[in-house]
Structure 1
Amino acid sequence: MSAVTPLNTALIIFVRHPELGKVKTRLAKVIGDEKALQVYQLLLQHTRQVTLPLNCRKFIYYADGVPEHDSWNDPGYTKRQQFGDDLGQRMANAFGELFEQGFKTVLIIGSDCYQLRTAILDDAVASLNGHHAVIGPTFDGGYYLLGMNHFIPELFRDKAWSTDQVCQQTIKDLSDLSQTFLMLKQLHDVDQAADLDVNGIAI
């Protein structure tokens, strides 16, 4: 097994443009589009702050076109476009692209986890020295992080995306494939109005 080093580790960050009426739509149904946009901008800022110190290659994958100038213009971030018919295909394509590029370990996060910390990301990277995969579960049944030290395409197929089944389905796949994995601490995403209080977000 290859050692995990900054040179051969890639972090994928899936984001959307912070546009009114197009982000945090479930949250917006309760607090309105403008406040939902403020929440998403806060989440993007937090994601940038916790990933900036990481000593690895970072790739911002946009769901809706790659802008020339935005908050991800810092050195160390490379901008790319998501492609695929659903979330699973888009993630699989991003992982496959980076493994084909020569990276030995690849991880993905979104921009919805206000409880995410740099230390958690460091632990996730380090865990791939001794495990095939790493998962950061969320309390709503999904995951805030997924990483692996070789491409496992089965993890992106036949999943009930955006439901409380995704994490358990992913764990079952890893077990069925005899892949070793580490579970990180469980965190809260920000998707519903109740998540604002849990995360200490006042808008």
Structure 2
Amino acid sequence: MQKSLTNSKQHLIIFTRYPEPGTTKTRLTPALGDVGAANLQKQMTEHTILQVKELQTISAITVEVRFAGGNWELMQNWLGLGFVYQTQGEGDLGQRMMRSLADALGSHAERVIIIGTDCPGINCHILTSAFEKLQLCDLVLGPALDGGYYLIGLRRVIPELFSQIPWGTAQVFPKTVEIAQQLNLSSIYLPTLADVDRPEDLPVWQHIFVGDNNSNKF
């Protein structure tokens, strides 16, 4: 049975995709092949889940996985029964994120953070810091080296932050900051991290798991 959101004040949403070969991490297919790219997606999502589970041991949060591809049963069999699962639904990334944010805030959450699974540098410490900082400001952003962001945290729905954004480009973070400034939002920025989207990014993943006999194999 699908779990429901609780009355936790802090809510974390993880955006990911079911790791089916040929439909995920396609920009890495030239380097890894369809199966290798899907395996990397699987490994990176599981890494993120481990950080989130660590966070759950020290902080009262609810966790929701918004997924594309697959279905509820496949996702639960893969990542376990300890999370809320919802499909991302239709629309561009901004529309999907705004929908998930509105749903969480409408279910009594007061501070909502959205993350992806492309940034292996995300850890429990960063997530803890993000929730703490969100008590003090309107917007928390985690910038990525490629010009996007790996984390966004809000206490209310601000549609302007999710519209007219050139998703998938190096302008995502600066454009979001520009809009936040125009709206006079108080903002706090987290450390800049590298994500893994293209073949040249693969050393980021391999560096973090150097010495591991299994995790960095595709």
Residue among 80, 95, 106 paired with 2:112 = 106
Aligned to 2:213: none
User: Shift in Å at residue 65 of structure 1?
Assistant: 4.9
Q: Which amino acid aligns with 1:115?
A: G
User: Shift in Å at residue 166 of structure 1?
Assistant: 0.3
For the 8 Å contact 2:137–2:187, the answer to whether it is kept is yes
For the 8 Å contact 1:83–1:89, the answer to whether it is kept is no
Aligned to 2:20: 19
Matching of residue 182 in structure 1 with residue 188 in structure 2: yes
For the 8 Å contact 2:46–2:79, the answer to whether it is kept is no
The CA distance in 2 between the partners of 1:94 and 1:45, in whole Å, is 21
SS in 1 for 2:43: helix
The CA distance in 1 between the partners of 2:19 and 2:84, in whole Å, is 18
The CA distance in 2 between the partners of 1:120 and 1:158, in whole Å, is 28
Aligned to 1:193: 199
1:146-172 superposed Cα distances (whole Å, 9 cap, x missing partner): 001121111100010011000011101
1:97-143 superposed Cα distances (whole Å, 9 cap, x missing partner): 11111111111001111111110000000001111110000000000
SS in 1 for 2:72: coil
User: Shift in Å at residue 7 of structure 1?
Assistant: 2.2
SS in 2 for 1:71: helix
Identity %, equivalent residues: 34
Query: TM-score, normalised on structure 2?
Result: 0.86
Q: Which amino acid aligns with 1:132?
A: D
Aligned to 1:70: 77
Matching of residue 133 in structure 1 with residue 152 in structure 2: no
The CA distance in 2 between the partners of 1:101 and 1:179, in whole Å, is 23
Return 104-113 or 25-34, whichever deviates more. Answer: 25-34
Matching of residue 149 in structure 1 with residue 155 in structure 2: yes
Aligned to 1:59: 64
Structure 1 segment 27-66 matched on structure 2, within 5 A: 27-54=28-55, 55=59, 56-66=61-71
User: Shift in Å at residue 31 of structure 1?
Assistant: 2.2
User: Shift in Å at residue 38 of structure 1?
Assistant: 1.8
Count of matched residue pairs: 197
For the 8 Å contact 1:82–1:90, the answer to whether it is kept is yes
Q: Which amino acid aligns with 1:53?
A: E
What 5-or-longer segments of structure 1 have no aligned partner?
A: 1-5
SS in 2 for 1:195: helix
The CA distance in 1 between the partners of 2:202 and 2:119, in whole Å, is 11
Query: TM-score, normalised on structure 1?
Result: 0.92
Residue among 100, 106, 115 paired with 2:121 = 115
What 5-or-longer segments of structure 2 have no aligned partner?
A: 1-6, 210-215
The CA distance in 2 between the partners of 1:137 and 1:94, in whole Å, is 20
